[in-house]
Amino acid sequence: MSRRPLIAGNWKMNGLSADGIALAKGVAEKRKAEAALACDVLVCPPFTLLADVARALAGSGVAVGGQDCHAKVSGAHTGDTSATMLKDIGCSHVIVGHSERRTDHGETDAVVKAKAAAAHAAGLVAIVCIGETLAQRDDGRTLEVNKTQLKGSLPEGANAANTVIAYEPVWAIGTGRTATPEQAQEVHAFIRSELVKLVGETEADKMRILYGGSMKPENAAQLIALADVDGGLIGGASLKAEDFWAIARNCA
Ligand code: PEP
């Protein structure tokens, strides 16, 4: 099965108006200059930049996504943003269950599942993040932890068109430490085998599974080339258009 890779940038809580818009324009220019590139490209700026970045990227072929959404459509939830609101300002995707949300905001699998369901209801693609901590890996619990998170975070109706999985080992996020190709392929293949049970063989075969965790120009080629790695969710290296693009160019 050949799956079209997705290269997604997670800007996290970085960027003020001028540099955020400049970064978006830089990515758009690179995308336009390489129209034949065989991957989808997405950037997920902080909430304050979403509308400006969506405008800057209009017509460029680069998609825009949120970094989180609330599970409800509207209501008394101060400081939160609904998936419907993200859709309304031009987003096509939203990241849910990033390990930083799970850690900083105590998000459980059930919360992540509800957010992913809200994303689907709003017509967004949910990028559902899962991944083990270093302690869990050292305890030999990597596959079990990812299995539990996957099962608990995927809502009813998840399919390859509305869901992308991001495997992000927590110990590799922002640490400069990357999973080896063997470690990444082992977990990605395992996730796909679990997806067969959850969404059926056809959808599991089509569903994209991204790797995230210190992906950068120097290590992207070998990770993206792996049989069950269908692109990357990139944090630090997505903050420079040159680096982000050097990663994207590995998609044949
Ligand atoms: C991320 O935030 O999803 C991520 C993978 O970050 P980094 O690339 O900086 O490790």
Residue with CA closest to ligand 1 atom 7: 235
Distance of CA 121 to the CA centre of its chain: 18
Is 168 catalytic? The answer is yes
Ordered by start, the domain boundaries in the chain are 6-248
> How far is the centre of ligand 1, averaged over its atoms, from the C-alpha of 214 (Å)?
6
In this model, does residue 166 exceed pLDDT 80? yes
When pLDDT is averaged across residues 93-119 and rounded to a whole number, the result is 98
> How far is the centre of ligand 1, averaged over its atoms, from the C-alpha of 171 (Å)?
10
When pLDDT is averaged across residues 84-100 and rounded to a whole number, the result is 98
User: What band does 252 get if pLDDT is binned at 50, 70 and 90?
Assistant: low
Residue with CA closest to ligand 1 atom 2: 235
Query: Which position among 93, 98, 120, 188 bears the catalytic label?
Result: 98
User: What band does 36 get if pLDDT is binned at 50, 70 and 90?
Assistant: confident
Instruction: Summarize pLDDT for 174-224 with one digit per residue, the tens.
Output: 999 999 999 999 999 999 999 999 999 999 999 999 999 999 999 999 999
> How far is the centre of ligand 1, averaged over its atoms, from the C-alpha of 75 (Å)?
31
Three-class secondary structure of residue 208 per DSSP = coil
> How far is the centre of ligand 1, averaged over its atoms, from the C-alpha of 238 (Å)?
9
Which atom of ligand 1 lies nearest, measured to the CA of 12?
A: 2
State the alpha helices, DSSP H only, in the chain.
17-33, 50-57, 83-88, 99-104, 109-121, 134-138, 142-153, 181-199, 201-206, 217-224, 241-248
Is 98 catalytic? The answer is yes
Q: Residue 201: count other Cβ atoms within 10 Å of its Cβ.
A: 11
Q: Interior CA angle at 127 toward 252 and 178, to 5°? A: 60
- Residues flanking ligand 1, CB < 6 Å: 10, 12, 168, 173-174, 212-215, 233-237
* pTM confidence score: 0.98
CATH class of 6-248: alpha beta
Range scoring the smallest mean pLDDT among 25-39, 76-90, 154-168: 25-39
Q: Residue 219: count other Cβ atoms within 10 Å of its Cβ.
A: 20
DSSP symbols for 144-178? HHHHHHHHHHPPTT--TTTEEEEE--GGGTTTS--
- How far apart CA 107 and CA 235 sit, in angstroms, is 20
